[in-house]
Amino acid sequence: MALLARVALCMLAAACADNPYVIGHAREVRDAAADASVPNDGLDASVADCSGALVCSAFEGELRAEWPETVIEGSGEIERSTARAHSGVGSLHVSSRSMESVADVVKRFSALRSGSLYLRAYLYVPAGPTDIINLFFVGSRPDPFNGDPFVGVDLNVVDGALQLFSPQAKPTRQTGTLEIPRDRWFCLRAELAISGDATAAVFIEDAQALRATGIDSLADDGVSMLRAGIDWSSSQATLFELFMDDLVLDTKPVACLPD
């Protein structure tokens, strides 16, 4: 599986970029302080009250300090940007200029084996083609050295529509019909049950864009990882970029922010 190969390469690489804000042009994993706590004084008011969530980021602080682990492959690039933001002054900016590239941030948390997960993020996606771009992965860390596949869920954009991919589900891919907005910020939410036979729903500004069933979201060792950004650019050979802000993953419902 291509995913296993790229995870193995990322785990073995250890290149470091000189620029503390932009990371790119090399396969790498940063995990300099995986267990270090991140102070909340870098969060703006819109997410400061979600500090008890599994993941809570407005991308206001220095990227390496808040996200000590990032994954880069191929032409992927990642940075904390002040070019645009949904709230505060910063956001996560990721891009890819060739197929099979990666540029994402990773957060690990104590394994969960029941209940539900709730994801919210604000995205700004410029107009352009989207040939299967993976934006989020929620699931378990695979062991590529023992040939273990990942168990979890990918949230993709395919020709502008949202798609859930679960390799153990039948069908493995379930695609909605409501396309994402372009050239403006919008609120994306997802609700995912933790189960071997789970349901999931994805919303664009509270309008249901996709409902999927029969998803296997529960690995033997539980759900313990979120990857966000460009987690795989598939066969996309032209520039794709997005900005992400006000990201939350929690075990209780997370609403879109008031306008």
Residue-wise pLDDT for 133-159, tens only, equals: 999 999 987 655 455 567 789 999 999
SS3 at position 65: helix
Tell me the per-residue pLDDT of 123-134, one tens digit each, with 9 for 90 and over. Answer: 999 999 899 999
**DSSP 8-state assignment for residue 7:** H
Measured distance CA(205)–CA(104) in Å, rounded:
23
3-state secondary structure of 146: helix
Query: In degrees to the nearest 10, what's the CA dihedral of 36, 41, 42, 46?
Result: 120
Residue carrying structure tokens 């060739």: 98
Full set of structural domains in the chain with CATH: 2-250 (2.60.120.200)
Collapsing DSSP to helix, strand or coil, 12 comes out as helix
Rounded to two decimals, the pTM is 0.82
- Enter the tokens of residue 239: 């520039």
Give the per-residue pLDDT at 168: 80
Which region among 9-13, 122-126, 164-168 has the lowest average model confidence (pLDDT)?
A: 9-13
Is pLDDT above 70 for 22?
no
What is the distance between the alpha carbons of residues 100 and 116, in angstroms, rounded to a whole number? Answer: 30
Q: Is 70 exceeded by the pLDDT of residue 259?
A: yes
Nearest one of 144, 169, 13, 163 to 76, comparing CA atoms = 13
Give the pLDDT of residue 149.
Answer: 64
